[in-house]
Structures are given as C-alpha cells and as structure tokens.
Amino acid sequence: MNSRQRFEQIANYFETLTPQSVSELNAFYSATARFKDPFNDVTGVPAIETIFAHMFASLTQPRFVITGQVVDGDQAFLTWEFRFRFKRFDTQTEQVVLGTSHLVLDTDQRISLHRDYWDAAEELYEKLPWVGALMRWLKKKANS
C-alpha cells in the first residue's frame, strides 16, 4: 500500500470514528505517536485514546468531515470540519470547527506525529454562551 492509499484509510477512519472504534487507534498510530492540538500534547496510543474518548463523553454527535488532503510522501495535511453539539448548552445547534491536521507516517505506515491546527478562540470560545460575548468584544476592540 502506498502512502496516498494509507492516508485515504486514515481519513476514512476519522470520518467514521465512533466511541467503539476509538479502541482501534493502535492500527493507525505508532506506540510512541505524539498528538498535539491547542489543548493537548501527549505521547502514546493510550493517551491519544483518552482524548478521543473524552470527546465522545463531552459532546453530542461529534464527527469529522474531511474536506481536503495534500499528500507528500510520508506526510499529509488533512483539512476538516469538526461537527458537534454541546451537551451542556444549546444541544439543538450544531457547531462547526474548521481545522487542519498534519500527519506523519513512520516506516510501518502508522502515524508518528498528529498535529492539529485550529483557532481555539474563533472556532470554540466565541461559540460558548458566557465566553463568546467577551471573545467577540475583545476581537472587536483589537480590530478597531
């Protein structure tokens, strides 16, 4: 299997991720993989599993929609929409966070680095009921 095919498999896995399939991360990540996003910086499959399990426990209907891929050898950038509903707030409104993942494969075609890039202030904090108004006000003040 070439790298492009492997990244297709990985993208499909993320798009179909469920609470049950989180336990299959070891088929896609190396034992010493690093995962970093605006809130986490962990190493190892058990720690990465914990992040995804927490996502399902904390949110309603979380899912990833892969909107693009750029593959160059053993690394790729996946652009995505993360769609979910807050459990604690207005559960009727679907939220969308836009982001990009930089993935690097090891020699066994498992992810050794997974780095997510997204703007936590714009994509998340501004959508929270209490924090959102403050974040929008600060953004307006910074731009005036």
Please write the tens of the pLDDT for every residue from 64-103.
999 999 999 999 999 999 999 888 765 678 888 899 999 9
Residue 129 belongs to some domain of the structure: no
Q: Report the C-alpha gap between 3 and 37 in whole angstroms.
A: 23
* Domain limits for position 26: 3-119
User: Is 55 inside any structural domain?
Assistant: yes
| Domains held by the chain: number | 1
Residue 134 lies in a domain: no
Tell me the CATH number at 11. Answer: 3.10.450.50
Domain membership of residue 69 (yes or no) is yes
Residue 135 in any domain: the answer is: no
CA distance 30 to 114: 11
Q: What is the pLDDT of residue 32?
A: 97
CB atoms within 10 A of CB 116: 19
The two beta strands, 111-117 and 95-105, are antiparallel
Amino acid at 112: S
Question: Is-contact 82 55, C-beta < 8 A?
Answer: no
Kindly report whether the global pTM for this prediction surpasses the value 0.75.
Answer: yes
* 140 is a domain residue: no
Mean pLDDT of the chain, nearest integer: 87
Q: What is the pLDDT of residue 135?
A: 45
